[in-house]
Each structure stands twice: as structure tokens, then as C-alpha cells.
């Protein structure tokens, strides 16, 4: 195994002693097959125990270790050193308040995820004795790509709309809403539209597409948002032409299977 | 949260994008390549022939739809680009962009009716 000396320039922020984030450099002896997370772990274990960052699975599944590496938001467990130069700059995800070092505040994102009702909303309550859902592979294929999100927030880090307006629900949460909207078991699109089709929902997106470019799981949030725009536009004009169709809760009566 | 009224302009924007994506390349092939390279005879695009197509009620209707949705597409895209550039004066931007598109819609209707 060959060893490579790499300089890691890490953005540090310790709110109890610093008013502004500052860069700190570490020289790390790295193995060629390491990822950036391994180098950070080396720093934590051998050079500086005060460095704070989040990680868990080390296999691009948990979504905890999203950070900006040489200006690109990525999972540090998927950022192979063999693909990077000898000088690597590591920063916390952009567009979020820094909590400490490479850790950002998650509260806003978590609230937004919850706000889009990311769970199945069937027309009729489903009981255990009803048995299992039946779903064809074609129906599964419709939503599966949008179900791959691991909430790493890389898309929020590059989204210019989220940077301009922090009220924007954002790519991952809107893609997740779309994932349920196009699920054949779900009839909750109308219930989600109060948030999804508001001025801070899909309509804030101007289709820059950066979210889809950086997603480490190949979710395509930009496509999800555009598809939701089409469905919401159809709903908008339906409501305008047939205002009596909506019940008191604001949910329109829908035929089963009309989830797209 | 209240649902947005943006579907109105976005509907025109989406229609304009789709229509121009399909028709502009075809127009470019016909006008920019087929005629100059002699694939079409110049007589095929003679004034009388094109006028006959455009002045037909169906021709006017199609042309009106094509021009207006393209204008609204450009207007909405310009508005969002201004927003992307960080200029937050949305009221004025909307007024100018949609004003130009609205004026273009009226002018297109007038000229097509007077053809």
C-alpha cells in the first residue's frame, strides 16, 4: 500500500472561542485507497481530538457525512483521495448555519422534511386484516428513484434558491413529497399541496438543476420538482374550473390510483 | 400555507418551452438549411404561398398560440433569471416581463386579425 502526504485544510468553528470560522491545515499521511472521511478520522485519532464532524456508516448509506470538499458538496465517505489533489479543502455544507466545525444545524431541514407529509396517505384507512398492498414493478419503478434519498443535504448546499430564500422547502423534501405522490398506494397529493404548491414550495424553484448534479444517490430532485409542477398546475386549473370538488379538509375527492 | 397562483404563468411558460423546443429546430432546418442548400425550391416559400398559410384562420390561430406562449415563456424565464441573479425587486421585474409579454400578446392578436 502506497502512502501519500495530503494537506487537509479544514474549516473550524468553535463558537465558545471564535466569532468567525477559520481554516486550519493538517498534514495527513494517507493510504491511496482512503476516502476523505478516513483522513478526517486520522486527524481526530492522531492529530486533533477537538475536530467535530458527523459520520456513521462509512458506506454512503446514512447520509451523515455530507460536506463541501474542494467546493463540491459530497459524502466524505465517497470522496476517494485517488480522485483528489494533494491539497484538499473541507468545509461544512453551504447555506446552513454552522453548529461546530463541519457540523451544520439540521433543524430547518428536519422541519421541512416533516412538513411535506412524507408517508403514505391512503384514501381509506388500511387495517392489518386488509392484507398486503399489491404493486406492480411498473408502479414501483415510478417512485423508486426518488426513494433513494439519504438526506445528506448536498442538494441544499448548492441550491441557489435555498441560498436566497431560506423559507424554500428545498430539493430533497420536495423530491420526497413527489416520491409519495407518485406511489400507487398513496392518494395524499392534495394534502401535500398546501406546502408543496405554496410560494415557498415547488414554485420557488427556477430549475437550475444543481441539486440533481451533486446528488450522491442519483436522485433527480429537479425532475421531481418539475413533474410536481405539472401535476399541481393541472390541479390548480381543475380547482378553478370545478371548485365544488374539494371537501372541507381541503382535499379533493380523487379516484383511487389517480396519484400521478 | 396558501397555494400559489404561479400555475397561471408557469402553465404558459411550460407550454412556450415545449412549443419552441419542438418548432424552432424545425423552423431552423427549413429556413436556415433546406432553402439555402436548395433542398426546397424558393417557390415553396414564396410570399403568396406563405401568406396563404398564415392568413388562413387556422394558420392565424396556430401562429397566435406559438407567438404568445413563446413570449410568456421568455417573460417568465427572464423573471426567474433576474431572481437567480439575486435581484429581489420581483414586483418591478414582474411588471416589465409580463407587461412586455402582455403587450406582445395584444399586438400579435391585432396584427394577425389585420392580416
Instruction: Give CA–CA dist A213/A70, Å, rounded.
Output: 16
The yes-or-no verdict on residue A171 having pLDDT over 60 is yes
User: Is residue A260 in a domain?
Assistant: no
A251 at interface of B, judged by CB pairs closer than 8 A? no
Domain termination residue (choose one: A72, A104, A136): A104
Same domain, A134 and A236: yes
A207-226 mean pLDDT: 96
Both A100 and A116 in one domain: the answer is: no
Does the residue A251 lie in any domain?
Answer: no
Is the domain of A51 the same as that of A153? no
The pLDDT assigned to A1 comes to: 61
Q: Is A210 on the interface with B (CB under 8 A)?
A: no
- A131 and A99 co-located in one domain: no
pLDDT at position A245 is 66
A38: left (phi over 0), alpha (psi -120 to 50) or beta: alpha
Whether the per-residue pLDDT at A252 is higher than 60: the answer is no
**Mean pLDDT, chain B, whole residue set:** 92
Same domain, A229 and A125: yes
A256 inside domain? no
Residue A47 per-residue DSSP state: I
Among the partner-chain residues B4, B11, B84, the one whose CB lies closest to the CB of A160 is B84
- Does residue A81 sit in the same domain as residue A174? no
Q: Which of A73, A104, A135 is the last residue of a domain?
A: A104
Domain range for A55: 3-104
Same domain, A15 and A120: no
Per-residue burial over B84-104, b = 16 or more CB atoms within 10 Å of its CB, e = otherwise: eeeeeeeeebeeebbeebeeb
pLDDT at A259 over 60: no
Q: Average of pLDDT values for A51-80?
A: 97
Q: What is the mean pLDDT of residues A24-33?
A: 96
User: Which pLDDT value is given to residue A254?
Assistant: 46
Residue A254 lies in a domain: no
CB pairs under 8 A between A and B: 46
Please judge whether B4 and A199 are an interchain contact, meaning their C-beta atoms are less than 8 angstroms apart.
yes
pLDDT of B35 > 90? The answer is no
Q: Would you call B3 and A197 a contact, using CB atoms and an 8 Å cutoff?
A: yes
Average pLDDT over residues A53-59: 97
DSSP A178-222: HHHHT-TT---HHHHHHHHTBTTTGGG-----HHHHH-TT---HH
Under CATH, what is the fold of the domain B8-114? 3 helical TM bundles of succinate and fumarate reductases (1.20.1300)
Where a domain ends, among A69, A104, A139?
A: A104
Question: To the nearest whole percent, how much of chain A has pLDDT over 70?
Answer: 93
Taking the alpha carbons at both ends of chain A, their separation in whole angstroms is 52
Nearest beta carbon to residue A203 from set B6, B86, B88: B6
Asked whether residue A258 is domain-assigned, the answer is no
Q: What is the pLDDT of residue A253?
A: 47
The answer on A112 and A91 residing in a single domain is no
Q: Do A237 and A120 reside in the same domain of the chain?
A: yes
Range B9-28 average pLDDT? 94
A255 or B8, which is more confident: B8
Count of domains in chain A? 2
**DSSP alpha helices (H): ranges in A43-133?**
107-115
Residue A130 vs residue A255, higher pLDDT: A130
A82 with A165, same domain: the answer is no
E strand or H helix at B40, and its extent? none
Q: Are residues A11 and A137 in the same domain?
A: no
pLDDT at A246 (0 to 100): 61
Option in A164, A195, A233 nearest B1 (CB): A195
Q: Please indicate, yes or no, if residue A255 is contained in any of the structural domains.
A: no
Q: Do A137 and A221 lie in a common domain? A: yes
Cα separation, A94 vs A164, in Å, equals 12
**Confidence category of residue B1, pLDDT binned at 50, 70, 90:** low
Note whether residue A217 is domain-resident.
yes
Is B7's CB within 8 Å of A200's CB?
no
| Position A47 pLDDT exceeds 60 | yes
Q: Chain A partners of B83 at a C-beta cutoff of 8 Å?
A: 164, 206
Q: Is the pLDDT of residue B91 over 50?
A: yes
CATH number, domain of A177, equals: 1.10.1060.10
Domain residue extents for chain B: 8-114
Q: What percent of chain B has pLDDT over 90?
A: 73
Mean pLDDT over each residue of chain A, to the nearest integer: 92
Amino acid at each position: 500500500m502506497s502512502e501519500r502526504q495530503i494537506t487537509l485544510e479544514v474549516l473550524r468553528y468553535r463558537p465558545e472561542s471564535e466569532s468567525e470560522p477559520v481554516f486550519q491545515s493538517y498534514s495527513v499521511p494517507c493510504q491511496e485507497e482512503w476516502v476523505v472521511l478516513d483522513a478526517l478520522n486520522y486527524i481526530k485519532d492522531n492529530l486533533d481530538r477537538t475536530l467535530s464532524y458527523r459520520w456513521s456508516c462509512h458506506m454512503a448509506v446514512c447520509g451523515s457525512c455530507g460536506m463541501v470538499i474542494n467546493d463540491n458538496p459530497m459524502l466524505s465517505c465517497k470522496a476517494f483521495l485517488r480522485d483528489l489533489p494533494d491539497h484538499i479543502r473541507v468545509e461544512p455544507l453551504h447555506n446552513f448555519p454552522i453548529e461546530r466545525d463541519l457540523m451544520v444545524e439540521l433543524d430547518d431541514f428536519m422541519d421541512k422534511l416533516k412538513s411535506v407529509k412524507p408517508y403514505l396517505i391512503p384514501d381509506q384507512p388500511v387495517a392489518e386484516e386488509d392484507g398486503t398492498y399489491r404493486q406492480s414493478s411498473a408502479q414501483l419503478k415510478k417512485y423508486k428513484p426518488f426513494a433513494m434519498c439519504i438526506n445528506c443535504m448536498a442538494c441544499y448546499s448548492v441550491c441557489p434558491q435555498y441560498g436566497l430564500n431560506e423559507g424554500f422547502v428545498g430539493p430533497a423534501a420536495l423530491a420526497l413529497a413527489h416520491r409519495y405522490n407518485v406511489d400507487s398506494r398513496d392518494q395524499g397529493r392534495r394534502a401535500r399541496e398546501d406546502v408543496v404548491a405554496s410560494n415557498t414550495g415547488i414554485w420557488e424553484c427556477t430549475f437550475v438543476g444543481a441539486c440533481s448534479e451533486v446528488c450522491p444517490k442519483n436522485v433527480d430532485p429537479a425532475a421531481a420538482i418539475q413533474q410536481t409542477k405539472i401535476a399541481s398546475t393541472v390541479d390548480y386549473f381543475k380547482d378553478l374550473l370545478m371548485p365544488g370538488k374539494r371537501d372541507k379538509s381541503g382535499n379533493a375527492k380523487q379516484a383511487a390510483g389517480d396519484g400521478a | 400555507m396558501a397555494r400559489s397562483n404561479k400555475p397561471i404563468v408557469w402553465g404558459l411558460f411550460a407550454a412556450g418551452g415545449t412549443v419552441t423546443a419542438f418548432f424552432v429546430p424545425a423552423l431552423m432546418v427549413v429556413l436556415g438549411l433546406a432553402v439555402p442548400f436548395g433542398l426546397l425550391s424558393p417557390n415553396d416559400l414564396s410570399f403568396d404561398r406563405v401568406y396563404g398559410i398564415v392568413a388562413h384562420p387556422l394558420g392565424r390561430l396556430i401562429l397566435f398560440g406559438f407567438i404568445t406562449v413563446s413570449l410568456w415563456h421568455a417573460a417568465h424565464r427572464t423573471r426567474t433569471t433576474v431572481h437567480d441573479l439575486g435581484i429581489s425587486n420581483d414586483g418591478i421585474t414582474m411588471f416589465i416581463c409580463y407587461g412586455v409579454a402582455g403587450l406582445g400578446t395584444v399586438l400579435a392578436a391585432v396584427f394577425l386579425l389585420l392580416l
